[in-house]
Chains A and B, each alone.
Chain A
Amino acid sequence: MGPLVPDFIGNELNFVVAILIGIAFGFILEQAGFSTSKKLVGLFYGYDFTVLRVFFTAGITAMIGVVALGHFGLLDLSLIYVNPTFLWSAIIGGLIMGLGFVIGGFCPGTSVCAAAIGKIDAMVFVLGGFIGVFIFAEGYPMFEELYKAENLGFITIYDLTGTSQGLFAFGMTAMAVGSFWFTTWVEKKVNKKENPELQPKKLYLGLGLTLFVIGFFTLFMPERRVELLADASAAANSTEVNTMSVDELAFRLLDQDKKLQVIDLRTAKEFEKFSLPGSTNMTFDELFGKDAHKVLALKNKKTVFIANSEAEERKAAFIVSELGYRNFAVLEGGLTTFKKEILEYKADKEPVTRQEKDTHIFRTRAAKELPALIAAAKKSAAPKKKSSRVIGGC
């Protein structure tokens, strides 16, 4: 599951990846004609809309891809970098950049491309960029208030407007296609002839159709996460699942079994108050993420789900079995039973048979020793390590 950094690709290797991605980025920008200011500003004077075409097509392709990958559970969207939103600085910064665009004829990425193929005006623009950042850095105390005003956090536009992700993506696509049609018409009026670069039409009709099909499936097929969560309650009791008895769990805990992994599904508050040694707190949503994968994919471990009731545990078991994991069990009777039978163990009748006697001895010992282990674990508990969002941006 993506993103591959930092688990599959280390931070040092990531710099090599950066160079390779940069090479492709520079190559595509230059091939698209972004290394000439005449072409870049054409968009603002109506004679050449290349920038708009490339930019919107790229944005939509990537956007549909991201939505689709997240939708089908291949990319953990909670881990990717979403540019933070600071309302006023975003608007004012954007307007200043727009002004810089029509005066200078480039934007930073394109100026680097143009400078690389020998455009002197682009080299001057790059130098100007350094000066601009320097002015900001030196004047930071003056800009800081504006820079940090109206912090809305790492929000997405569908959070902000309350529409669904798929619907918004579709709206953006429709807007882009509309603008392609409109700008082609404008371009023809301004230049008084057809743009020869827009041939062959079949090519981009094909591309458009591909994106449309992916987009269609993404929008109208139920999201896997939502679907599974909805099915889980109903299917929980009818699914066969490995169970672990309260005695086995107690034994493994006392033994400080390194192979045991406990996933605690209760709320964070309950978990804070009381938790088993070495257990990890997860929500149902988090079962779909990368952190859960790291735990569940380990083959030589014994993973057990605990919750207050066994039914809750079975819900989680259903979800992860649908996700393709096999190596897990649920705690028989849930944590409620575990507390009653082990931690607060009291013999209600005299043990008679050999087995009853063994159980009695074990549970008496567990009731005495486990609370100490739990207390010790709480004291020494390492701060919870969760995968965090990648930090990106300019």
Chain B
Amino acid sequence: MNETKYMNPYLAGFFLGLLLLVTIFVTGRGLGASGAVKSGVVATVTSVAPSHTQDSKFYSEYMKEHENNPLKNWLVFEVLGVIFGAFISGLVSNRLNFTLEKIPTVTTKTRVITALIGGALFGLGSQLGRGCTSGSALSGMAVLSAGGLITMFAIFGGAYAFAWFFRKLWLEGGK
């Protein structure tokens, strides 16, 4: 069976917006993703090197905010849900399979390295921007947060500004 096609983007956006609205109405906060990564990092570092957590300001502040349990965080539970929800969606739409997606002119090695670097930049940037595309830009837009909107324009503006330099990663022949 073939993959089912994607949902109409406006309809998907409408559903996503309703979900965000419900989230804000019920919990008083928006959606997010990078915060869960932060929890994961703090939890890992704490279990590997507990003394380091106490010495470093970043970790100790985080631990204090989370009653010494970095994984007891709303976003950690939410992201666990995301994994599950995306998996179900992939299952019903026949999109489950292990692949490394890239255009033919890019080598596997290049794609792995760029994905790693891109992820690291996003991880770093999301800490400075106090949230990523979901937590800062999307949720920030919903509540008209000044910081969220500034971050949103910076993300998309930055991506457009840098896009030309990395065109060979995404366009065949690098046109």
Physical interaction between A and B: yes
Binding site for B on A (CB under 8 A): 2-5, 9, 14-33, 35-39, 41, 43-45, 50, 53-63, 65-67, 69, 75, 79-87, 89-122, 124-138, 140-141, 143-144, 146-147, 152, 154-160, 165, 168-169, 172, 180, 197-200, 203-204, 207-208, 389-394
A22 touches B133 (CB 8 A): no
> Which residues of A are found within 8 Å of B83, using beta-carbon distances?
22, 26, 112, 115-116
B116 touches A32 (CB 8 A): no
A-B contact pairs, 7 of them (CB 8 A): A14-B74, A61-B18, A83-B135, A104-B115, A107-B122, A134-B41, A394-B136
B130 touches A124 (CB 8 A): no
> Which residues of A are found within 8 Å of B8, using beta-carbon distances?
197-200, 203-204
Question: Given A91-B150, A157-B146, A394-B136, is A132 in contact with B9 using a C-beta cutoff of 8 Å?
Answer: no
Q: What's the count of A-B pairs with C-beta under 8 Å?
A: 577
Name the CB-closest residue of A to B25: A2
B131 touches A394 (CB 8 A): yes
> Which residues of B are found within 8 Å of A20, using beta-carbon distances?
81
8 A Cβ contacts from B8-60 to A: 8-35, 37-38, 40-42, 44-45, 56-59
B129 touches A94 (CB 8 A): yes
B77 touches A86 (CB 8 A): no
A133 touches B127 (CB 8 A): yes
8 A Cβ contacts from B77-134 to A: 77-90, 93, 95-103, 111-112, 114-134
Name the CB-closest residue of B to A134: B41
B118 touches A29 (CB 8 A): no
A31 touches B6 (CB 8 A): yes
> Which residues of B are found within 8 Å of A157, using beta-carbon distances?
144-146, 149
A104 and B121 CA atoms in complex are apart in Å by 9
Binding site for A on B (CB under 8 A): 5-35, 37-38, 40-42, 44-45, 56-59, 72, 74-75, 77-90, 93, 95-103, 111-112, 114-163, 165-167, 169-171
B interface majority secondary structure: helix
> Which residues of A are found within 8 Å of B156, using beta-carbon distances?
98
A19 and B129 CA atoms in complex are apart in Å by 25
Contact of A81 among B28, B87, B154 (CB under 8 A): B28
Question: Given A21-B78, A65-B21, is A121 in contact with B100 using a C-beta cutoff of 8 Å?
Answer: yes
B32 touches A197 (CB 8 A): no
B36 to chain A, nearest CB (A): 8
Question: Given A26-B89, A108-B122, is A82 in contact with B24 using a C-beta cutoff of 8 Å?
Answer: no
Question: Given A58-B138, A89-B129, A127-B119, is A94 in contact with B144 using a C-beta cutoff of 8 Å?
Answer: no
B132 touches A3 (CB 8 A): no
Contact of A118 among B19, B20, B29, B99 (CB under 8 A): B99
A160 and B121 CA atoms in complex are apart in Å by 29
Contact of B24 among A3, A57, A144, A199 (CB under 8 A): A3
> Which residues of B are found within 8 Å of A207, using beta-carbon distances?
10-11, 14
Question: Given A44-B163, A112-B86, is A392 in contact with B29 using a C-beta cutoff of 8 Å?
Answer: yes
Name the CB-closest residue of B to A36: B101
B6 touches A33 (CB 8 A): yes
Across the A-B interface, the 3 shortest Cβ-Cβ residue pairs: A104-B118, A22-B81, A128-B119
Sample of 6 more A-B contacts, CB < 8 Å, known A75-B25, A94-B150, A109-B133 = A25-B78, A84-B145, A92-B154, A98-B161, A104-B117, A122-B115
A85 touches B13 (CB 8 A): no
> Which residues of B are found within 8 Å of A204, using beta-carbon distances?
8, 10-11
Contact of A109 among B21, B82, B87, B157 (CB under 8 A): B82
